[in-house]
A and B are shown apart, each in its own frame.
Chain A
Amino acid sequence: MKTIDLYTPIIESSIYHLKAGDFVTISGTIYTARDKAHKKIAELVAQQKPLPIDFTNAVIYYAGPSPAPPGMPIGAIGPTTSYRMDAYTNIMLSLGVRMFIGKGSRNEEVKKLLVNHKAVYCSSFGGAAAYLNQCVVDAQIVAFEEFGPEAMYKLTVEKFPVIVINDIYGGDLYADV
């Protein structure tokens, strides 16, 4: 399939040409965050406390990897279902996140917010966690280690494959099928 190769940080202008249904690969730095990390980040924002990373132009991957076996940077690392993070998406966009990666559909509010903030939502390949492990070259915990698999990881990835679901023009692959 024809693919578009993107390198982080992903700036606003580089997502203008992304359309729902495009096959994209990401190389560079992405950060994992799932349910607990989102709740914690929202609390830190509300309390005006320092945040663990700079979210400007960041790529957030909704994932909770399995532990790293000896000799590997990480274990299995596929996407988790995204709608559980819908309630926190406004906060994450306000912090400057440019791309979210997960799986499954988002609510109408999130779709509008993505258009307004010029950010995209992509799906990776749900249940292809061993395959996706092969795209991760390094993994470091950057925050919330106490959450175990729900800690926030900084991942260095090479050609990590995703499909654009919601683009900045209101396009929605799931609605089209």
Chain B
Amino acid sequence: MRTISQSKLYTAVYDLVVQANFNLPEYVGQALATMQASEQKPLAKETLNILIQNAHIAAQKHIPLCQDCGLVIVFLEIGTGVTIDGNPESIIQNAVADAYKNNYLRPSIVKDPLFDRTNTGTNTPAFIHTEIVDRGSVTITVYLKGGGSENMCSLKMFTPTADIEEIIEYIITTVKQAGPNPCPPLFLGIGIGGTADVAMLNAKKAVLHKEPHPSEEYRKLEEVILQRCNKTGVGPLGFGGNNTVAMVRIKEAPTHIATLPVALNLNCHSLRYRSITI
């Protein structure tokens, strides 16, 4: 069985945190450029222009893309064919803490939600979701989520006989009501099915899918939701325009005969994540 050393996992996580904070994924940058070209209103065009410039400045001058350097979500897929030399959770927490400290990234995590809102100072704990997969490797994804857009996430438990139109209406209403708050144009992740918690986790995973859904039915639904969201007129940063949502991605799961959960993960225009397989 292959062994992955502590230092290899540590370095991988450290580098992913740095890359995600300073370099927008290429296709996200391209999406901004495409939207900029499609806007007619001068303010919407100028806003997207500023966001494009922001990504260039962040990369060139090593300034974080956003002052909210996010809470760190880690998706960890451990293959059955490998062992990790040490506790992967503590290796990840150490790598995150060091990456934030050494790169002047803002720590934004408080110890307790109610009774002790003192900043931990390290941006840890990162929130780690581990899966065991049938592979001879480990895949790590570091996803940074800002507080402003996280506050706009939503979950609704539909009855199983609900019409798709009802679901679409709920999604459009959520995006419209969130308006400028989550920093549109949004990358919208939708989790459908599973349980309340599984749907929300799938909404988090879905937003990181670069490609549209592989099945035609879901792909069409993603397209319909995208078009309807963009008719709301909210526009870039809520200043008005044709681009309220940049991409819609769905991840579905089997569910109970009595349930139909729908979870929405609204992500700002700055979709910050990186993945590596080691």
Chain A residues near B (Cβ < 8 Å) = 1, 21, 23, 63-69, 72, 75-78, 80-81, 83, 103-105, 123, 125-131, 133-134, 147-150, 161, 163, 173-174, 176-177
B235 interface residue per 8 A CB criterion: yes
A63 / chain B contacts, CB cutoff of 8 Å: 67
Taking Cβ atoms with an 8 Å cutoff, the residues of B that contact A are 42-43, 46-47, 50-51, 53-55, 57-58, 61-69, 104-108, 119, 121, 146-148, 151, 179-181, 183, 233-235, 237-241, 268-270
Nearest Cβ distance between residue B52 and chain A, in whole angstroms? 9
Q: State whether A131 touches B42 (Cβ < 8 A).
A: no
Residues of B near A129 (CB, < 8 A) are: 54, 63-68
The residue of chain B having its C-beta at the shortest distance from the C-beta of A75 within the complex is: B104
Instruction: Judge whether B57 and A75 touch: CB under 8 Å.
Output: no
Total A-B contacts with CB atoms under 8 angstroms apart: 145
Is A149 in contact with B46, judged by CB distance below 8 angstroms?
no
Contact of B121 with A103 in the complex, beta carbons under 8 Å? no
A71 to B269, CA, bound (A): 29
Please list 22 pairs of residues, one from A and one from B, whose beta carbons are closer than 8 Å in the complex, sorted by A's number.
Answer: A21-B43, A66-B67, A68-B104, A69-B63, A72-B63, A76-B58, A76-B64, A78-B66, A78-B67, A83-B181, A103-B237, A127-B51, A127-B146, A129-B65, A130-B55, A130-B61, A130-B65, A134-B57, A149-B108, A149-B119, A163-B43, A163-B239
| B240 engages A126 (CB within 8 Å) | no
Apart from A125-B50, A127-B270, what 14 extra A-B contacts exist at CB < 8 Å?
Answer: A66-B105, A67-B106, A68-B104, A76-B66, A78-B67, A81-B147, A104-B238, A123-B237, A127-B269, A129-B65, A130-B63, A133-B61, A147-B119, A150-B119
**Which 9 A-B residue pairings sit nearest by Cβ, starting from the closest?**
A177-B240, A66-B106, A104-B181, A130-B63, A130-B58, A126-B183, A76-B67, A131-B54, A76-B64
Shortest distance from the beta carbon of B228 to any chain A beta carbon, whole Å: 16
Residues of A within 8 A of B268 (CB): 126-127
Tell me which of A68, A105, A128, A148 has the highest count of chain B C-beta atoms within 10 A of its own C-beta: A128
| B46, B47, B180, B240: the one within 8 Å of A104 (CB) | B180
Cβ-defined contact, A80 with B148, below 8 A:
yes
A177-B46 contact given A64-B67, A76-B64, A126-B183, CB 8 Å threshold = no
Q: Name which residue of chain B comes closest to A63, CB basis.
A: B67
Contact A131 B53 (CB under 8 A): yes
CB neighbours (8 Å) of A1 from chain B are 42-43, 46
Whether B64 pairs with A105 at a CB distance below 8 angstroms is no
